[in-house]
Every structure is written in structure tokens, then in C-alpha cells.
Amino acid sequence: MDYQDRLKYLNLMTTEERRIRGDIILTYNIINKNIEMGNFNLEMSKERRTRGHTKEMPVTRTRTEIRGNFFTNRIVQGWNKLKQKTVDCASTIAFKSAYDQEIPLKYGSST
């Protein structure tokens, strides 16, 4: 079997999807203070006329690809695409479940 067929058969996500999911879960935990990060805080958008949810982050333009791949820049697009009910979940377990329902897998099924 090739890679995509194995993922579909075993109902697994790609390594890229796992990395993105892990980053989004970490973002949720940082925003909700479930993880102690010292003085590090993720910047929230000050614009309140957003089309998405109330916890959106501003998109930062970078001149270099290296800076664009930093965690704080890498997560913004994926985080801002989430629905309000997903980012307002009360626990990490509830957030993971809501995220998995909202974002379908590329090759496996999301059930």
C-alpha cells in the first residue's frame, strides 16, 4: 500500500496534520493559561470587528522564511480559522474533540 492508502486504512492523520493539531492545542493551552509560560504571552488582535472569533491573533508580515516558521507566526492562520464555539471550550479535552470535528483529516476519516 502507498502512504495515502495506509493512512486511510488505519484512520491516521499525516505528520503535517499532527504538527498543526499539536500547535493549535498548545496555543489553546497558552491562551487559557493551562501551561505556565512565564512572561511569554500570545498577542491577541485589538480589532473587534472580526469575522471570526473573539480570540483572533494579528497576522504579522515577515521578510524571511526563517521568521515566518517561528511558532508564533506559524499558528496564526490555523488558529484564526477556528469557530467561536471551538475556541470557547472549557477544557483541553473538549477543545481537542471540537477541533477534530471541525477540521477533517486529509486521508483518514474524522470519526
Q: 61 lies in a domain?
A: yes
Find the DSSP H helices in 32-75. 65-68, 71-74
Q: 10 lies in a domain?
A: no
Q: 74 lies in a domain?
A: yes
Asked if 28 and 95 touch (Cβ cutoff 8 Å), the reply is yes
Range of the domain at 33: 18-47+54-102
For the stretch 82-109, pLDDT in tens is 999 999 999 999 999 999 999 877 776 6
Q: What is the pLDDT of the chain when averaged over all its residues?
A: 84
Q: 12 lies in a domain?
A: no
Q: 110 lies in a domain?
A: no
Report how many domains make up the chain. Answer: 1
Q: 8 lies in a domain?
A: no
- Write down the pLDDT at residue 36: 83
Residue 38 predicted with pLDDT over 90: no
Q: For residues 31 and 78, give the distance between their C-alpha atoms in angstroms, rounded to a whole number.
A: 15
Q: 64 lies in a domain?
A: yes
- Write down the pLDDT at residue 28: 93
Q: 63 lies in a domain?
A: yes
Question: What are phi and psi for residue 38, nearest 5 degrees?
Answer: 70, -130
